[in-house]
Structure 1
């Protein structure tokens, strides 16, 4: 087929507009429309859009800007204050989930390399979907919201060694330990340099740019900082996404974080949509149907097994059953970084076709169910844990009956609530 670049773009846009509009009418996330666009126009269906390396590279920038906006949600001080959850529960979740799926893979049986890759892929949850849904419900600062965000944050950081591990598995096993040790050392050094040098520079630099009162200059500066730090970490042998996350954390400590987030949103959403289109292009529906039993098994493992592990860890960290269950429901799905790892493993031909399609199918279906589960996590928990409903009612009764003096209760802690709280603290 001839490469009609403009026609391909028009078909992508037209299909995307129609599907996004239709699915939004059904109150479904736009991500489904992008995935469906890739399925319909991809090589396993109409074969309209070629699977080009340039397309995949452009789509990867969607993940870069996603990590940048996640970094904007965390100042370095807040990151350090959550270190117990991030490096405690987050680390435990990734390691235990990976080990469990490695064990299952070996029992099937599959090779240990395939097991390690599947463990890393299925340990990931959807940062984009969960954070957005929690923010819309104003649950980011709740206990289950903080657990979910902390675990997601560590998962995003864990992508870095996994991005190094997968190409190493395609090479010689003798060099694997040395490659990982060197990558870890470089990651620590690069992050220390960026954080130590970047923190005192970022605030006055953004103030200087903002004083020019040019929207174009401000936007160019945001892109320069984001892509510049991403390039630095890539040159150090790490991932673009890690540098973008650091850029977001540094900018979050300036007075311009919300303006930056608003400016970067169109780039992020369009490029992230293109990333999901490229994932949809991997879908082979006849292969799904031929392996339907395994698709259902993978889906059940993601929802039930992964959810049970999160519940158990939350209980181990001292949270009551209701909060633990809400955290488990919120995190029991596959994630976009799982697709990044899946695409990378497929590029190095480390996953057989009879494994790739069932895993891809289970991951996609879990993400289709995720918006409903996250939206209804409180209701589901109250139905399953009767004591949780009583506990919440008792908390509200205690607040109403308390004899409070010179006290303020903030109902909601979104952007406005945070601003009000900050002013009250200062006064």
Structure 2
């Protein structure tokens, strides 16, 4: 078919359906996010009618997440996180541990393997920072102490998930021992420790780079331009 425009079609249909279902959800006194989710289902491959280009949709979704997280960064700073660290850090770590164990227990009761149950519980243990930020903004609570604690709590969860996602491939062999004969032996503990050290080094380097470049160099460049 000549003149195919999958990018334009995906953007147009996504925006139109998001607008329509978001307006309906708002009219029903439900969060517009519910309407946006329904719009995404309708343009997906599991419903009749128009099907968006899945590869393009995934890339556009990644761009959307980047922009939304940029919004989180505009409303929260390292100073705010440090001011609520006594509550946010132990609270987030405790919630992740409890929710992961609950998910692991549920998956064990359903007969799932240990590795799959662990990942399932880990996925249940975090909430959306962007969704919470949006809800706090609507209620004008973002600058309150409760708002700073809530956002700081979820930022700690986000950092923990980044670490978990990096370590999952390395730990996969160890978790899968006894479940798959091909994974017997797993990764030696030395390699896991090396992977952990490299990951922590990258995180420290990234934070240092952002504190120096993000707070000093980029504002200077923008002022110069």
Figure out how many residues of one structure are paired with residues of the other and give that number: 209
CA contact (8 A) 1:42 1:49 kept: yes
State the alpha-carbon separation in 1 of the partners of residues 9 and 89 from structure 2: 48
CA contact (8 A) 1:8 1:48 kept: no
State the alpha-carbon separation in 1 of the partners of residues 150 and 199 from structure 2: 27
1:375-394 matches, within 5 Å, as none
CA contact (8 A) 2:9 2:52 kept: no
Residue 34 of structure 1 corresponds to: 36
State the alpha-carbon separation in 1 of the partners of residues 170 and 59 from structure 2: 20
1:36-75 matches, within 5 Å, as 36-46=38-48, 48-50=50-52, 52-75=54-77
1:128 aligns with 2:144: no
Residue by residue over 1:309-349, the C-alpha shift from the partner in whole angstroms, topping out at 9 and shown as x without a partner, is: xxxxxxxxxxxxxxxxxxxxxxxxxxxxxxxxxxxxxxxxx
Gaps of 5+ in 1: 210-427
Residue 95 of structure 1 corresponds to: 97
Q: 1:135 to 1:10 in 2, by over 3 A?
A: closer
The one of 188, 200, 205 equivalent to 2:204 is 188
Cα deviation for residue 56 of structure 1 reads 0.5
State the alpha-carbon separation in 2 of the partners of residues 30 and 117 from structure 1: 29
Moved more, 126-135 or 113-122: 126-135
Q: 1:124 to 1:153 in 2, by over 3 A?
A: same
Q: 1:168 to 1:31 in 2, by over 3 A?
A: farther
Gaps of 5+ in 2: 174-182
Residue 273 of structure 1 corresponds to: none
State the alpha-carbon separation in 2 of the partners of residues 21 and 160 from structure 1: 34
Q: SS state of the match for residue 29, structure 2?
A: coil
CA contact (8 A) 2:136 2:147 kept: yes
State the alpha-carbon separation in 2 of the partners of residues 207 and 36 from structure 1: 43
Residue 16 of structure 1 corresponds to: 18
Residue 140 of structure 1 corresponds to: 142
Residue 179 of structure 1 corresponds to: 195
CA contact (8 A) 2:108 2:117 kept: yes
State the alpha-carbon separation in 2 of the partners of residues 68 and 13 from structure 1: 21
Q: 1:7 to 1:129 in 2, by over 3 A?
A: closer
Higher RCO (CA < 8 A, seq sep 6+): 1
Residue by residue over 1:220-259, the C-alpha shift from the partner in whole angstroms, topping out at 9 and shown as x without a partner, is: xxxxxxxxxxxxxxxxxxxxxxxxxxxxxxxxxxxxxxxx
The one of 188, 195, 199 equivalent to 2:215 is 199
CA contact (8 A) 2:88 2:150 kept: no
State the alpha-carbon separation in 2 of the partners of residues 136 and 21 from structure 1: 16
Residue 114 of structure 1 corresponds to: 116
Cα deviation for residue 59 of structure 1 reads 1.0
CA contact (8 A) 2:21 2:35 kept: yes
State the alpha-carbon separation in 2 of the partners of residues 75 and 105 from structure 1: 37
1:19-418 matches, within 5 Å, as 19-46=21-48, 48-50=50-52, 52-168=54-170, 173-174=186-187, 178-209=194-225
CA RMSD of aligned residues (A): 2.8
Cα deviation for residue 53 of structure 1 reads 2.4
CA contact (8 A) 2:43 2:51 kept: yes
* TM-score (normalised: structure 2): 0.77
